[in-house]
Amino acid sequence: MSYLKPLTTVVVDDSLTTRALIAAALKRDPRIKVVGTAGTPFEARDLIVRLNPDVLTLDFEMPSMNGLQFLEKIMRLRPMPVVMVSGRLSSHQGLVEQALRMGAAEWYSKMVLGSGEEPFVGLGDAIVRAAATKNKPLVSEGGSLRARVMATTKTGTVVGIGASTGGVEALTDVLEHFPKDCPATVIVQHMPKQFSESFARRLGRVVKPDVRLAEEGDVLKPGIVYVAPGGERHLRIRGGARTGEYVCQLVTAPPVNGHRPSVDELFYSLAATVGKNAVGVILTGMECDGAQGLLAMRHAGACTIGQDRASSVIYGMPRAAYELGAVDTQLPLSAIGPAILNLCERRSLETYP
């Protein structure tokens, strides 16, 4: 297999000497570029989040958490090609089999050197073979996105989306990217009461997650998209004091920004209850509903996304949020669904190990 650019690799080993030897060996291989080294799983986690390497080499023996324990977390939270590097290959075949079952692509023994050979000969070949597995399933269904988004809290990352004019088509576009086990997602779409139920049913027929109208007391769960009922009440999210879960609350109150339900009401509640474990998204729509609430979410540590002008039917709501400083990232509609999933995975990985 040939590569147009070198495979970026992070080397994880508790020995400074071994890290240096591996980096030196790989530096001689034009197919590979070492972009970082780490001596602990905690350092490795930060490098994975920041550098997004193509391949990870992972030592079995490390302080505070062994390589298999860290491998298990990687496969749940951020599946990627991993080469296990160890001196235990010949005497601990069971560990090799366990690592491969858990999702490791390759296992390289530190003891493969023959007389006069350079250290870590052949490791580059193992990295290239591992990289070839990148687009293949690395984990079973139990290690799917559901497991990754459940990492931050008992409920997991929560996605809040607000939309108005043009939002029906925009929401369909975003949610078509979501897998069946998507993050718990809550939507406020401005529309009359008589249309919201049929909208939820229609959306549920064309996307993979379960789509339903939010009801009082619904517990947010991954794999479910909750649509605010139109017309009479606002949808807020509150925390379950005893369970640690997030719960739908339908509140009778005057319209906000001329709307009921209001995107601002949803976003304010997510800022107060979910905080940094939320992702806020504002899509096409008139006027400014949702801008202040999205700003509150950003101040609370949530990631925020706004639809760009070119892809919006009406750029009013996204523009108001952007000009207010509420938007972390402004994206075309086609990129928003994948970006949400990427942010949820990143948030989950940042909390582990």
Sign of CA dihedral 127, 132, 138, 144: positive
Please confirm, yes or no, whether 289 is among the known catalytic residues. Answer: yes
Q: How far apart are CA 287 and CA 346, in angstroms?
A: 32
Instruction: Extract the tokens encoding 68.
Output: 């298999």
Q: Among the options 164, 269, 312, 348, which is catalytic?
A: 164
**How far apart, in Å, are the Cα atoms of 216 and each of 12, 88, 155, 235?**
48, 56, 17, 9
Please confirm, yes or no, whether 210 is among the known catalytic residues. Answer: no
**How far apart, in Å, are the Cα atoms of 233 and each of 194, 202, 249?**
14, 22, 9
Q: What angle do CA 239, 241, 247 make, to 5 degrees?
A: 30
Please confirm, yes or no, whether 190 is among the known catalytic residues. Answer: yes
Q: How far apart are CA 209 and CA 233, in angstroms?
A: 24
Q: Are the CB atoms for 19 and 44 separated by under 8 Å?
A: no
Strands 303-307 and 278-282: parallel
Q: Among the options 190, 218, 262, 269, which is catalytic?
A: 190
Backbone angles phi, psi at 33, to 5 degrees: -130, 115
- 332 DSSP 8-state letter: -
Q: Among the options 262, 289, 312, 348, which is catalytic?
A: 289
**How far apart, in Å, are the Cα atoms of 10 and each of 41, 58, 76, 146, 289?**
12, 9, 19, 26, 44
Q: Are the CB atoms for 51 and 105 separated by under 8 Å?
A: no
What is the set of active-site residues? Answer: 164, 190, 289
